[in-house]
Structure 1
Amino acid sequence: MTDRPKPILGAALGLNGLMAHRDWVLEKQRDVELQDFHTAQALDDDWRPLAEETRRMLDGHTGRRGLHGPFWGFKIDSHDPEIRAVVRRRLLQGLECCAFLGADQMVIHSPFSTWDGNNLDAWDNAREQLVERVHLTLKDVVARAESQGCTLVIENIEDRDPRDRVALAASLNSAAVRVSLDTGHAHYAHVSTGAPPVDYHVRAAGEALHHIHLQDVDGYADRHWAPGRGTILWPSLFDALAKIHSNPRLILELRDKGTLREGAAYLERLGVAE
């Protein structure tokens, strides 16, 4: 452990969550991840009135601000050029929302599946071809992110080997692409598919780790429970975090927003965050 100050917890919230927890967010100028702008319906409707109301709710907020990018219905490694064009358009729409909301980070989903963990290396050049398809999808998206000072962080979903995602992010050769960790996804993959434990994901990413979704699970499903309700070994995660200096955003991403302060209080009692 180091003598650095304890990290400050943030939260993933939509407008309703911001209304409920605004005082907690502003109390320590906590990082926020805005989660109202990732669905096709939200992006194709006029999202600006909602975004304007969200900005008003964040008046006085000086913490870091991010956005969960689009992900429903697609992967970033599609074989189909027409699908890649749709994915590209959706992610560019997400970056447009980021610019409007003053967000300088956007979460996107990793393409690596459980199937990939068993099969990528059974086919000649399959791993390289996956990376190439991601590059084709993200080339314009990365350029846009660079131009507006926004960082894309690639979140593990089914990933079994965290090094795959770290290598993918590095292959894009841009300061605007880094790594995200979802603790619940990692623990599910550890228990159910033989992936390494959560702290190994931190060690694999090192200084490329810029964002973390904090959520607890039982190892069977993607619960998004408050920390303390599942079986993640939180001290090992924070011990690993104490050895890196990238200052990742620690975002409580909980299904029941009413348990946000419960989860934060649990981590405070452990003495690992505040």
Structure 2
Amino acid sequence: MYKHITSRCFINFPFRRLQQELDAVLAHRFQPEISLEGDTLYTATEAEYREVAEALARAGLGCTLHAPFFDLAPGGLDENILAATRSKLGKGFDLIEIFRPAAVVCHLNYEENKHGYKQAAWFDTSLATWRELLAKAAAHQVPLMLENTYETGPKQHIQMLAALDSPFARFCLDVGHVAAFAKNTWQDWLPALTPWLGHIHLHDNHGDRDAHLAPGRGSFDFSGLFGYLKAQRLQPLVTLEPHSEDDLWESLAALDRMQFFDAK
């Protein structure tokens, strides 16, 4: 069921959950976007990573990686916090060689209330962080996707992606974050970031919180966005981000109903 969708998208799975549910993932032929949040990068062993990666490869299933972002400051002005951030992100990028992902997704992590008064210093520090990580990804021909979170418009992403100036530095549009945090619409982000668009994260909410509902259960304009992507002949990577099994199946049903992926 929904193979015409699952063969062309990824579904978020924290690494530990992916381990626990690996048999089901393989049976349904889900392609995971593997979240490396929490203490995973400190507690999981290389053998554990390789076991999962090899199982996915044997099944002919792709994956993406989602780097950690909680408590991290890639543009941090405190040298100790910055060093810890770069170390943890670096551990995530070291897994590229094991998983051979289609992309690594990271949060740009710009917040106007925190960084606006020292924007130039934040930008220079953040740029150095992403350049170092981009070099790791590009060495494996893997794109780094910079995702929107608390940013309220495309300015910081445009500035960063233009400065990185690499075909492996791309933009990930998280539509749920647009609605919940930016409090605006996808048109405020595209077409300005269309030249860099490489990935989209699909989930829904009512604009009040990052609820990660199935598409169609909130207020996001999916029909408008999907129409734009088709009209522009854009084919970014797609990840579904449900936070429950019910929302997972409802998300797949919604994409089927919306005909985002044409049935084959």
Question: How far off is 1:189 after superposition?
Answer: 2.8
Return the match for 2:165 from 160, 166, 173.
Answer: 173
TM-score by length of 1: 0.82
User: Alignment partner of 1:211: what SS?
Assistant: strand
**Which residue number corresponds to residue 129 of structure 1?**
121
5 Å matches for 1:85-124? 85-115=83-113, 120=116, 123=117
CA contact (8 A) 1:87 1:137 kept: no
Shifted more, 151-160 versus 243-252: the winner is: 243-252
Match of 1:222 in 2: 210
SS in 1 for 2:190: helix
Change beyond 3 A, Cα 1:253–1:244 = same
**Percent identical residues:** 24
Deviation >6 Å, runs of 4+: none
Distance between the aligned counterparts of 2:244 and 2:227, measured in 1? 27
3-state SS of the aligned residue for 1:203?
coil
Report whether the alignment pairs 1:153 with 2:145. Answer: yes
Contact kept in structure 2, 1:184 and 1:217, CA below 8 Å: yes
Tell me, in whole angstroms, the C-alpha distance in 2 between the residues paired with 1:8 and 1:138. Answer: 28
In structure 2, the CA distance between the partners of 1:228 and 1:21, relative to structure 1 (3 Å rule), is: farther
Contact map agreement 2:151 2:181 (CA 8 A) in 1: yes
Partner of 1:38: 37
Local SS of the residue matching 2:149:
coil
Equivalent pairs, count:
254
Q: What is the rounded CA distance, in whole Å, between the counterparts of 1:138 and 1:234 in structure 2?
A: 30
- Which residue of 2 is the match for residue 65 of structure 1? 63
Q: TM-score with structure 2 length normalisation?
A: 0.85
Comparing 252-261 with 240-249, greater Cα deviation is found at: 240-249
Q: What letter matches 2:29 in structure 1? A: V
Task: Find the residue that maps to 1:250 and give its secondary structure.
Answer: strand
In structure 1, which of residues 209, 212, 215 is the aligned counterpart of residue 200 of structure 2? Answer: 212
User: Matches of 2:150 and 2:12 in 1, distance apart?
Assistant: 20
Among residues 227, 244, 255, which one is paired with 1:256 in the alignment? 244
**Structure 1: gaps spanning 5 or more residues:** none
Q: CA deviation at 1:245?
A: 4.6
Please report how far the alpha carbon of residue 221 of structure 1 lies from its aligned counterpart in structure 2 after TM superposition.
0.5
Q: Which of 142, 149, 173 is the aligned partner of 2:134?
A: 142
| Distance across 2 between alignment mates of 1:38 and 1:17 | 17
- Cα distance in 1 for partners of 2:32, 2:232 equals 21
Deviation at 1:61, TM superposition (A): 4.5
Say if 1:110 and 1:154, in contact at 8 Å, map to a contact too. yes
Show CA shifts across 1:221-267 (max 9, x none): 01111112211111011112124455211100111134212111112
Alignment check: 8 A CA contact 1:216 1:226 kept: yes
Query: How far, CA to CA, are the matches of 2:132 and 2:156 in structure 1?
Result: 22
> What secondary structure does 2:194 align onto?
helix
- Compute the RMSD of aligned alpha carbons: 2.5
Residue of structure 2 aligned with 1:22, choices 18, 21, 26: 26
1:80 matched residue in structure 2: 78
Q: CA deviation at 1:158?
A: 0.6
